[in-house]
Structure 1
Amino acid sequence: MAHRFHRSILREYDVRGVVGQTLGPDDAHAIGRSFATLVRRAGGQAVVVGRDGRVSSPELEEALVAGLNASGVDAVRIGLGPTPMLYYAEATLPDVQGGIQVTGSHNPADHNGFKIVLGGLPVFGDDLQHLGSLAATGDWLAGQGRHEHRDVLGAYVDRLAAGLHGISLDALARFRIGWDAGNGAAGPALERLTQQLPGEHHLLFTQVDGTFPNHHPDPTVERNLDDLRALVAAKSLHFGVAFDGDGDRIGAVDAAGRVIWGDQLLMIYAEDLLTRLPGSTIVGDVKASGVLFDRISTLGGNPYMWKTGHSLIKSEMKRISAPLGGEMTGHVCFADDYYGFDDALYAAVRLIAASVRLGRSVTDLRGAIPEVVNTPELRFQVDDVRKFAVVDEVRDRLEQAGARVNPIDGVRVTTPDGWWLLRASNTQDVLVVRAESRDQAGLERLLVDVDAQLAQSGVSRGPQVAH
């Protein structure tokens, strides 16, 4: 029997919807049937399934597994845990060929969805649309798959801790660190990890609660770091780290309470990496600070700007064999001595390791990053069809005028004042603007340039739209 998904839930990078409105158990069952069909046609027979701590996740997981089994694929169920634990299981269990995590990621509590991986690569873009086509036509294989439960949490945590191999216990014992799990799925793994680590560790909100009673688990929003900042200040800690709802985004604050944004963390990781692997290519997304790309060059690395989106970053890293990549949103992917996927818990471990190997505190590393003035993502509504045309028009005008334009993902324009970016959102009827300069006056001039280009295409920056 065919199934049609709500048009809004098959996003660019994952499947996401509002439970009871655009997403429910029937959708989960259909995702299972479509993915199982894809897996079997690729020669596979088993996939690993995990879930986050949202209230709706157990029901969606049951329906998903039933769909997988109905199309003849076996499900290895690893239970509650962060999305990177699902990625770890897919990468290391010899008898699985793919994986699905039931997760709403950093979205509100009434949202949920699925992150999917096949053969070590994320399933996104056209491949997600293909799952929708299989469901819409009922082009599903039939079968009688089985399911079993396996515990991989211990092995996963051991692998996280292995990121500190070779670093002296004395050096590690000096650290005093704050951790905020945000009541998300990373909590149990974080508790076990910090029990293995030397040093002093102060934990917040590790009890998994899908209603997120303390604060929303998205560390890219500064107010969600208030509790962590307060903990670091009250306990005089060296730094603090925070995770999103499914543990694949990292946020951090230093001892002075300054936020260390995703591209700034990537600068620290890059400095550590390039002392060990000189000349490496490091991938950053098109929204990242120009300071990141300049810093990588200064350190002797090869900066590589790529499209925004964790799935796109991971796939491009694998294609070009880059050992490190990440984006503004706190997705950081390590392929040197790890598996190439985004794992915020592992990123926290590597931040400790970087501080030791570089011989400087996290606060000093953050303080060495040049200060610039930039906007957040300025998101405003534009018709879903028109948004792409506007970007094309702006790009064509600027290129004809001889401007310095990088068209890899929208339009990134470099001027003597700094740079600005215009791109169409892959998941909403929204245009996104971001700009960066050395000072406020330069930033204002950049935004005047942006507005002039938008006006020529008949649009303007209207009321801000949430992500």
Structure 2
Amino acid sequence: MSHTFDPTILREYDIRGVIGETLGPDDARAIGRTFGTMLRREGGSKVAVGYDGRTSSPILERALIEGLTSAGCDVLSIGLSATPMLYYAEASAEEVHGGIQITGSHNPPDYNGFKMVFRGRPFFGADIQELGRLSAAGEWLDGLGEVETRDILKEYVDRLLLGLDGIDHSILAGIKVGWDAGNGAAGPALEALAERLPGEHHLLFTDVDGHFPNHHPDPTVEENLADLKALVAKKKLDFGVAFDGDGDRIGAIDGEGRVIWGDQLLMIYAEDLLNARTDSAGPATIIADVKASRALFDHVAAHGGEPLMWKTGHSLIKSKMKEVSSPLAGEMSGHVFFADTYYGFDDALYAGVRLLAASARLGKSVTDLRSAMPDMINTPEMRFQVDESRKFAAIQEVEARLADSPAPEIQDVNGTDGVRVTTADGWWLLRASNTQDVLVARAESDSQAGLERLLAQIDEQLALSGLERGETVGH
């Protein structure tokens, strides 16, 4: 017996495909059996399993558990849950050695997939390729695992509320916040959390519905924040928070309806964390991905932190955090990772609590914190189709050209993840997506004229490699 996956579903950070086309119960069963085999070979024996609100998730969950138990692994089943609840179940229980969340994240309703944790670390990249190889070879252990069902909602919400420790709740009593769960899996936890938070809280779309009837659950796309903006304006709220489909990415707006992007949120969190840090603890390394604004890195340095630019991808960021003992990291995509008094995984509900905490500790409204940020002119993330065989090669060509004959206006070329070029006008980025046949471009300046010059440099480098910025494609 063996199982071969459709090669398109074995991605860099997770396993993801279209139900009935590239992904189904047989795949889930094989994932469970192979993951369980890999875990047992490294001394593990128990796996936490959760699933999001997609209509296909319960079927995949049953098959996944069948696979895990047939490999001899015991299963802690937490049922319908946000992804960070699964991460919490894995991180907080000593007897649990791995975790698998069934989720399509922010993808359309016909997608689904699996995010995995293996002995306390992200399971991605080479791990996923090895899972595919072992499945195709049928190299499985046999056994008969047992299944335990546990409702962790209350203890998870208890843990979230510790994010307000040390803050006088009377300071928060007058705060008014809007929350948009987007009919995603975070809805039930958000309801339970809001009941216990100080202040006034208004909730949108907490009913879990895998068809996402109100709007697509990706809080980094501004049009998906329209309902939240309307709520904040109508009720005169202090700020608003939105979640993606599985609750591991946060979006936010201030009291004036301005979007607070991922790197801007990280500026707030970093200022709060660094202000509270004692000198004896030494400078804290704060990590952000290569798409983040220069303003963030400057802000971290100005508050005594060590800014570190790293590769895009939640698994890559989490791994780097462990390596350098970073207490805080984030991405433009809304993944925020707290390890100072939390577990180091990306949890949008906890990030929402920490936004309340930061506002209280800093003594400023979220709107004031947003207003204090420098006005940078950015492009949105531009993603354009490039043949799979060309995408990485093109980036290497750009990097080689800039290394051989840098233009006089170029101040720095950073090759951490793609090519990020700094000039007097600002910076531009070109990188190859790890998950799609696209190149990603972004530029930032403090003037429109500067931005145009940066875009011209991107276009010049693409043209030298026989490419051009085509129409922007989705995630």
Q: For residues 304-347 of structure 1, what are the alpha-carbon distances to aligned partners after superposition, in whole Å with 9 as ceiling and x for unaligned? A: 00000111111100110000001000000000000000000000
Specify the code of the residue in structure 2 equivalent to 1:44.
G
Q: For residues 175-211 of structure 1, what are the alpha-carbon distances to aligned partners after superposition, in whole Å with 9 as ceiling and x for unaligned? A: 1100000010000000000111111000000011111
Q: Which residue number in structure 1 is paired with residue 446 of structure 2?
A: 438
Q: How does 1:250-265 map to 2 (within 5 A)?
A: 250-265=250-265
Q: Which residue number in structure 2 is paired with residue 74 of structure 1?
A: 74
The CA distance in 2 between the partners of 1:214 and 1:450, in whole Å, is: 37
Work out whether residues 49 and 86 of structure 2, in 8 Å CA contact, stay in contact via their aligned partners in 1: yes
The CA distance in 2 between the partners of 1:419 and 1:213, in whole Å, is: 39
Counterpart pick for 2:458 among 430, 442, 450:
450
The CA distance in 2 between the partners of 1:104 and 1:251, in whole Å, is: 18
Work out whether residues 44 and 119 of structure 2, in 8 Å CA contact, stay in contact via their aligned partners in 1: no
Specify the code of the residue in structure 2 equivalent to 1:144.
L
Q: Which residue number in structure 1 is paired with residue 430 of structure 2?
A: 422
Identity %: 68
Q: Which residue number in structure 1 is paired with residue 398 of structure 2?
A: 394
Q: How does 1:169-248 map to 2 (within 5 A)?
A: 169-248=169-248
Q: For residues 162-184 of structure 1, what are the alpha-carbon distances to aligned partners after superposition, in whole Å with 9 as ceiling and x for unaligned? A: 11011112111111100000010
Q: Secondary structure in 1 aligned to 2:388?
A: coil
The CA distance in 1 between the partners of 2:236 and 2:93, in whole Å, is: 41
The CA distance in 2 between the partners of 1:408 and 1:85, in whole Å, is: 31
The CA distance in 2 between the partners of 1:399 and 1:359, in whole Å, is: 46
- 1:37 and 2:37 equivalent? yes
Mark the runs of 5 or more structure 1 residues left unpaired by the alignment: none
- 1:348 and 2:352 equivalent? yes
- 1:99 and 2:107 equivalent? no
Higher mean alpha-carbon deviation, 297-306 vs 402-411, is at 402-411
The CA distance in 2 between the partners of 1:246 and 1:289, in whole Å, is: 26
Q: Which residue number in structure 2 is paired with residue 300 of structure 1?
A: 304
The two structures, once aligned, show a CA RMSD in angstroms of 0.8
Specify the code of the residue in structure 2 equivalent to 1:215.
H
Q: Secondary structure in 1 aligned to 2:337?
A: strand
- 1:131 and 2:131 equivalent? yes
Specify the code of the residue in structure 2 equivalent to 1:407.
G
Q: Secondary structure in 2 aligned to 1:37?
A: helix
Q: How does 1:40-119 map to 2 (within 5 A)?
A: 40-119=40-119
Q: Which residue number in structure 2 is paired with residue 144 of structure 1?
A: 144
The CA distance in 2 between the partners of 1:291 and 1:134, in whole Å, is: 45
How many angstroms does 1:143 deviate by? Answer: 1.0
- 1:315 and 2:323 equivalent? no
The CA distance in 1 between the partners of 2:384 and 2:261, in whole Å, is: 23
Q: Which residue number in structure 2 is paired with residue 15 of structure 1?
A: 15
- Stretches (4+) displaced over 3 A: none
Q: Which residue number in structure 1 is paired with residue 413 of structure 2?
A: 405
Specify the code of the residue in structure 2 equivalent to 1:426.
N
How many angstroms does 1:461 deviate by? Answer: 1.0
Q: Which residue number in structure 2 is paired with residue 249 of structure 1?
A: 249
- 1:324 and 2:332 equivalent? no
How many angstroms does 1:463 deviate by? Answer: 2.0
The CA distance in 1 between the partners of 2:463 and 2:179, in whole Å, is: 45
Q: Which residue number in structure 1 is paired with residue 470 of structure 2?
A: 462
How many angstroms does 1:138 deviate by? Answer: 0.7
How many angstroms does 1:425 deviate by? Answer: 0.5
Q: For residues 236-262 of structure 1, what are the alpha-carbon distances to aligned partners after superposition, in whole Å with 9 as ceiling and x for unaligned? A: 000010000000000000000000000
The CA distance in 2 between the partners of 1:326 and 1:26, in whole Å, is: 35
Q: Secondary structure in 1 aligned to 2:321?
A: helix
Q: Secondary structure in 1 aligned to 2:428?
A: strand
Q: TM-score, normalised by structure 2?
A: 0.97
How many angstroms does 1:377 deviate by? Answer: 1.2
The CA distance in 2 between the partners of 1:56 and 1:114, in whole Å, is: 12
The CA distance in 1 between the partners of 2:428 and 2:108, in whole Å, is: 30
Q: Secondary structure in 1 aligned to 2:8?
A: coil
Q: Secondary structure in 2 aligned to 1:144?
A: coil
How many angstroms does 1:399 deviate by? Answer: 1.2
Q: TM-score, normalised by structure 1?
A: 0.99
Q: For residues 393-446 of structure 1, what are the alpha-carbon distances to aligned partners after superposition, in whole Å with 9 as ceiling and x for unaligned? A: 100110112441100000000011110000001011111111111111111100
Mark the runs of 5 or more structure 2 residues left unpaired by the alignment: none
The CA distance in 2 between the partners of 1:337 and 1:298, in whole Å, is: 23
The CA distance in 2 between the partners of 1:221 and 1:319, in whole Å, is: 31
The CA distance in 2 between the partners of 1:61 and 1:396, in whole Å, is: 47
Q: Which residue number in structure 1 is paired with residue 293 of structure 2?
A: 289
Specify the code of the residue in structure 2 equivalent to 1:111.
Y
Q: Secondary structure in 2 aligned to 1:385?
A: helix
The CA distance in 2 between the partners of 1:134 and 1:276, in whole Å, is: 48
The CA distance in 2 between the partners of 1:210 and 1:456, in whole Å, is: 45
Specify the code of the residue in structure 2 equivalent to 1:399.
A
The CA distance in 1 between the partners of 2:163 and 2:336, in whole Å, is: 14
The CA distance in 2 between the partners of 1:12 and 1:387, in whole Å, is: 15
Count the aligned residue pairs: 467
How many angstroms does 1:93 deviate by? Answer: 1.1
Q: Which residue number in structure 2 is paired with residue 161 of structure 1?
A: 161
